[in-house]
Amino acid sequence: MNKKDNKFSTKAVRVGTIRSQEQEHSEAMYLTSSFVFNSAREASERFANPESGNVYSRFTNPSVKMFEERLAALENADRCVATSTGMSAILSCFMALCSKGDHVVVSKSIFGTTVQLFNNILKRWGLDITYVDLSNENQWADSIQKNTKLFFVETPSNPLSELCDINSLANLSHKHGIKLIVDNCFLTPALQKPLDLGADIIIHSATKYLDGQGRCLGGAVLGNSNDMKEVFAFLRSAGTTMSPFNAWVFLKGLETLKIRMDAHSRNALELATWLESLPYIEKVFYPGLDSHPQFELAKTQHSASGGVLSFNIQGSKKEAWNLIDSTNMLSITANLGDVKTTITHPATTTHSRLTQEERDAANIGDNLIRIAVGLEDIEDIKEDLKYLLK
């Protein structure tokens, strides 16, 4: 059952299933490092063309393959290459597609560890990197050089939920022979499909919403066959591989992705709307609110705005910490993409490695709080934040 024209939820449940001769209904977990061949000739043919069958789980495993096929179907990609973490997806993508002396343009508002990977590691290998404002397209245009290979964005951004117009940025990049990469971790294909909007490559941290229950680390790179062939070749040699156990967990996660993402989005919108109505809140950042400066773009670019929101509380660090410490149920952790609601103070955790000036420039104030809204009952989430009603 691999029909291309099936609807999203059907593909999420049905695509990619490999059934063994045991006729199991739920997909099997193939915990094996290697595979056997019927003859020396077959072994030789498999090594020459791993696409024709299993060889060794560093680069071919049926559980991983089921996850790859299913996620590729959901993102409308030719091919998916699954990786051990979201960071190794980004590493594999850049190692495969860039060489020494290439230039890339990257949004300033990206995951902190991604910045560390670019600045502390990839730069040492001769990658030239320019950072620009996510939503300021003139800056993207102005930073293009002859050797620019890739654009890299996350949209919505973390923690302030700024957006870029994916279609417009893809058009700009393609005019100059540049590929646009979108890290689609926050919305997932259940809510936003960057390839359909013109992007070339998608990155996932499967650790977040694809699992959705905070159990496993994993990642994925998706795109056309030519680019993914390069990414696969890197993974085959470098071993940035997803484990079959984790692949099985993510495969099951995809089956409920749409209903979870819709529920995260409903809870987040309700919480954002409530927060906006409270006297002690200065500003709420969530693309689903009509007060968001890019609300119109949000409506055309994604079907709902996902689970992550942030807000400025009146006051400073003291008031922000007091609120966080007043909660009983919410988990104080920097993780996101879980059924459990999490609350974070970005200035002293996820963004603490920035200087005060960098934080000011990025609008990460000491009074900013981020919430990744989970799937508890929304009334209980509000109740836990009742400190705000003082």
Ligand X SMILES: *Cc1c(COP(=O)(O)O)cnc(C)c1O
Q: Which residues bind ligand X (CB under 6 A)?
A: 85-87, 111, 114, 154, 183, 185, 205, 207-208, 217, 219
How far apart are CB 335 and ligand X at their closest, in Å?
A: 8
CB of 83 to ligand X, least distance (A): 9
Taking CB atoms, the residue at the shortest distance from ligand X is 86
| Nearest Cα to Cα of residue 212 among 335, 66, 108, 56 | 335
In whole angstroms, give the CA distance from residue 309 to residue 249.
Answer: 27
CB of 183 to ligand X, least distance (A): 5
For ligand X, give the closer residue by CB, 54 or 114.
Answer: 114
Between the alpha carbon of residue 70 and those of residues 157, 193, 201, the distances in Å are: 26, 14, 16
**Identity of the residue, 87 or 202, whose beta carbon is nearer to ligand X in the bound complex:** 87
Cβ proximity to ligand X: between 91 and 98 the closer is 91
Please identify, using beta-carbon distances, which residue of 96 and 308 lies nearer to ligand X.
308
Name the residue nearer to ligand X (CB basis): 89 or 298.
89
Q: How far is the CB of 207 from ligand X (least distance, A)?
A: 4
Smaller CB distance to ligand X: residue 62 or 218? Answer: 218
**How far, rounded to the nearest angstrom, does the alpha carbon of residue 81 sit from its chain's CA centroid?**
14
Q: Is the dihedral of CA 333, 339, 341, 347 positive or negative?
A: positive
Please, what is the minimum distance in Å from the beta carbon of residue 279 to ligand X?
A: 32
- Angle at the Cα of 7 from the Cα atoms of 167 and 243, rounded to 5 degrees: 80
C-beta separation of 186 from 301 below 8 A: no
CB 81 within 8 A of CB 232: yes
Q: Which is nearer to ligand X, 86 or 212 (CB)?
A: 86
What's the min distance (Å) between Cβ of 20 and ligand X? Answer: 29
Please report how close the Cβ of residue 268 comes to ligand X at its closest, in angstroms. Answer: 16
Euclidean distance between CA atoms 184 and 378, whole angstroms: 25
**Residue of 336, 329, 345 lying closest to 382 (CA atoms):** 329
Q: Where are the beta strands (DSSP E) in 72-147?
A: 79-83, 103-107, 128-132
Helix, strand, coil % over all residues of the chain, rounded to 5: 40, 15, 45
